[in-house]
Amino acid sequence: MDFGFITTHTSAYIKAAGLTLRLGLWGILLSLIIGLFCCMVSYYKVPVLRRICAVYIELSRNTPLLVQLFFLYFGLPKLGVVISAEVCAIIGLSFLGGSYMAEAFRSGLDSVERVQLESGLSLGLTSAQVMYFVTLPQALSSSIPALVANVIFLIKETSVFSAVALADLMFVAKDLIGMHYKTNEALVMLVVAYAIILLPISIAAALLERRVRRAGFGN
Amino acid sequence: MSETVKLLELQNIEKSFGDLEVLKSLSLDVNKGEVLVVIGPSGCGKSTLLRCINGLEPIQSGKIKLDGEEITAPGIKWSKVRQKIGMVFQSYELFPHKTVLDNIILSPLKVQKRNKADAVKDALALLDRVGLLDKKDAYPRQLSGGQKQRVAIIRSLIMEPEIMLFDEVTAALDPETVREVLDVMLELARSGMTMIIVTHEMQFARAVADRVIFLDEGEIVEEAEPEAFFEKPKSDRASRFLNIFNFNEKK
Amino acid sequence: MQDLGIRVLFIGNNMQRLLLGLWETVQISLIAVILSIFLGIILGMAMTVKNPALRAVTKVYLEVMRIMPQLVMLFIVFFGLTKAFGINLSGRVSAVIVFTLWGTAEMGDLVRGALISIPPHQYESGAALAMTKLQVYIYVVIPQTVRRLIPLAINLTTRMIKTTTLVVLIGVVEVLKVGQQIIEANRYTYPSAAFWIYAAIFALYFLVCWPISLVARRLERKWQFGGDAK
């Protein structure tokens, strides 16, 4: 194991990790927004939007991110729509993530029992107030384990960004393998990089799940 | 009780769930300051009756009037009506993510737009009245069933409703804590609150009621003053029902 | 507009090649899934054994599979193993290995979850009827476990089919690669081919995965087991 090689190229990995995280976080943020929107639309049974969101969710859950990226980055330009690689990555990730977040929010909402809403209404709160003060807070905290699992999933998905010429972690690793033939070193650093990013989140997820379960909201 | 003022009027209420008729042309008047106890076998429609009164269940036909105003008319905002009707549920339904105090002042602040300091003052006074002042910053999961139910009662009471509905509020409680809740309800009754209570606690019913109605299969089978009802029920069905609670025969 | 472009899908045997490319991916997934089911069941049962060393090893295995992106594992197997052991694994074989490892971990966890979610008194009532431990397993536990597992296994298959696309990045000729080839070949005749080809691939994946996921959902509803829906 050539440790000298490792130290020289650590900065390349750090830069790549930064890119991965930056794009990943944007994707996650947008996914949360899209997910919440779809969930609300579905909950309130808004006529046209509801169908659109349902179709969106099916499309998003049944197609791979890689294919979506290829379409956005290589396909759309032929129609005159040219998007930068970074934006493609964010759009693709959000498109994929939105449906997963929507599902997480939905199960959170479902977990709030009907009687809770009724007791809110009985106090004279309007439907909107019940949603804001009673339902949503409980739904959100129930959703957290699923939301965090989705975050982990989405960060793992970012590994395909190199396919659209982004200098992410996979790109750096492949580059080093190809250029310097230092396969072992490159791969070890790759694994370490992802572990550093994902292990903390994974542990946080496990802790959160235990905490939410123990807090055991309930009468 | 100098004059009797009709507070709540139910006229020919019909309620069905799909094909199942739950309330059959039911009519009922409740006077101001009166405590009405509703008893009857499971499935007779008691809970549904309460839920219809506060609009949680829509009725298929009939009218409900509160203070002379028809609350079942189209265009009526239930969020306004419900400020005058308080309801306490069997499962307490406190908001688990809020402290006891926040549970109580949520509605006065957001619905009645009261001043926060005033609302808190009222809340604390009420908590003191039921002996739970020290629990004001606790979360519902830290309270016993009886304590939660008492908080639930106060939460409705602080809205200053004209009538309060109690849906089998002690049914889910441990026997030891049932009494503390019933005591609160007795005190409320004595202070002149108009109440409709659905319960299985026969002795309590006897003590608190001004009038008892016996509901069976969606109809009012019998209506009487408590003493008369419990000692000498007029109808067969009522007798049979009351017998469930009597262990007069020795083994 | 681009109405000329869409024709590229239908000339020659382009569509056929695309479908064959997709079949390449599906094949890898199916092999991996089948292997995963068998190995997963074994792993799942192993995880319920009360041996602490075994528990630790399986736990680590699971966590590694959970944290590492599949593409990283593909790289490790495809580039790393070749270097480390001098063996030259094809992209396909690497893919099958990686996805089987991943699938086994997932299935193992599902099996473990299903096994421990069977109320203990099921075991006890079997024993009370004087059945041996093995009989309890065969007649009581396994039928119930299988019911819980099937929708989840189908769900795993869809996920695997979607993830197998990654093999294009280690050079396997699957649908995206075929697409690229077609686009290249038709660079002058159909300059906008890329749009239609990739749109078609998008649609193809959807047409393959969606029915499968519908089946899984219907089965899940039919066999109504309360509990986690992932």
Q: Taking all residues of chain C, what is their mean pLDDT, rounded to a whole number?
A: 82
Q: Is the predicted pLDDT of residue A151 greater than 90, yes or no?
A: yes
Q: How confident is the model at residue C196 (pLDDT cuts 50, 70, 90)?
A: confident
Instruction: Write the residue in A124, A141, A219 that is nearest to B94 by C-beta.
Output: A219
Exposed, middle or buried, B194 (CB in 10 Å: 0-12/13-18/19+)? buried
Partner-chain contact B92 A219, CB within 8 Å: yes
pLDDT digits (tens, 9 = 90+) for C45-95: 888 878 888 888 988 999 899 889 999 999 888 888 877 777 778 888 899
Helix (H) or strand (E) holding B38: strand B35-39
Domain residue ranges of chain A, discontinuous segments joined by +: 3-215
Instruction: Write the residue in A62, A173, A184 that is nearest to C213 by C-beta.
Output: A62
- Looking at per-residue pLDDT, the higher value among C131 and C59 belongs to C59
Give the residue numbers in A contacting C (CB under 8 Å), as ranges. 58-59, 61-64, 66-68, 70-71, 74-79, 107, 152, 156-160, 162-163, 170, 173-174, 177, 183-184, 187, 190-191, 194-195, 198-199, 202
Q: Which of A96-100, A185-189, C18-22, C111-115 has the highest mean pLDDT?
A: A96-100
Give residue A28's Cα distance to chain centre. 4
Q: Is the predicted pLDDT of residue A28 greater than 80, yes or no?
A: yes
The topology under which CATH files domain C2-223 is MetI-like fold (1.10.3720)
Mind listing the pLDDT tens digit of every residue in chain B (251 residues)?
446 788 888 888 888 888 888 888 889 999 999 999 999 888 788 889 999 998 899 888 888 988 888 888 888 888 889 999 999 999 989 999 999 999 999 999 998 888 999 999 999 999 999 989 999 999 999 999 999 999 999 999 999 999 999 999 988 888 888 989 999 999 999 999 999 999 988 888 888 999 999 988 888 888 888 888 888 888 888 888 888 777 766 55
ipTM over 0.95: no
Of B88, B100, B147, nearest to B124 by C-alpha is B100
Q: How confident is the model at residue A218 (pLDDT cuts 50, 70, 90)?
A: very low
Identify the closest residue of chain B to A127 by CA–CA distance. Answer: B79
Domain residue ranges of chain C, discontinuous segments joined by +: 2-223
**What is the nearest CA distance from C228 to chain A, expressed in angstroms?**
10
Q: Is the predicted pLDDT of residue C113 greater than 90, yes or no?
A: no
Partner-chain contact A67 C198, CB within 8 Å: yes
Average pLDDT over residues A122-144: 90
In this prediction, residue A215 carries a pLDDT of: 56
Give residue C51's Cα distance to chain centre. 29
Query: In this complex, does chain A touch chain B, defined as having at least 3 beta-carbon pairs under 8 Å apart?
Result: yes
Chains that touch C (3 or more CB pairs under 8 A): A
In this prediction, residue A214 carries a pLDDT of: 61
Enter the pTM of the model.
Answer: 0.82
- Residue to mutate among C1, C3, C26, C75, with most A CBs inside 10 A, is C75
Helix (H) or strand (E) holding A139: helix A136-157
In this prediction, residue B165 carries a pLDDT of: 94
Question: SS3 string of chain C?
Answer: CCCCHHHHHCCCCHHHHHHHHHHHHHHHHHHHHHHHHHHHHHHHHHHHCCCHHHHHHHHHHHHHHHHCCHHHHHHHHHHHHHHHHCCCCCHHHHHHHHHHHHHHHHHHHHHHHHHHHCCHHHHHHHHHCCCCHHHHHHHHHHHHHHHHHHHHHHHHHHHHHHHHHHHHHHCCCCHHHHHHHHHHHCCCCCCCHHHHHHHHHHHHHHHHHHHHHHHHHHHHHHCCCCCCCC
d(CA A6, CA A11): 9
Q: Is the predicted pLDDT of residue C3 greater than 80, yes or no?
A: no
Query: In this complex, does chain C touch chain B, defined as having at least 3 beta-carbon pairs under 8 Å apart?
Result: no
Average pLDDT over residues A123-137: 91
Instruction: Write the residue in C72, C82, C205 that is nearest to A63 by C-beta.
Output: C205
CATH node for A3-215: 1.10.3720.10
Length of chain A: 219
In this prediction, residue C136 carries a pLDDT of: 66
Rounded to 5°, angle at Cα A128 from A101 and B69: 155
**Across A45-59, A83-97, C123-137, C157-171, least confident range:** C123-137
- Looking at per-residue pLDDT, the higher value among C228 and C156 belongs to C156
Q: Taking all residues of chain A, what is their mean pLDDT, rounded to a whole number?
A: 88
In this prediction, residue B3 carries a pLDDT of: 61
Partner-chain contact B148 A125, CB within 8 Å: no
Partner-chain contact A122 B140, CB within 8 Å: no
In this prediction, residue A219 carries a pLDDT of: 30
Q: Is the predicted pLDDT of residue C1 greater than 60, yes or no?
A: no
Q: Is the predicted pLDDT of residue C230 greater than 50, yes or no?
A: no
pLDDT digits (tens, 9 = 90+) for B137-166: 999 999 999 999 999 999 999 999 999 999
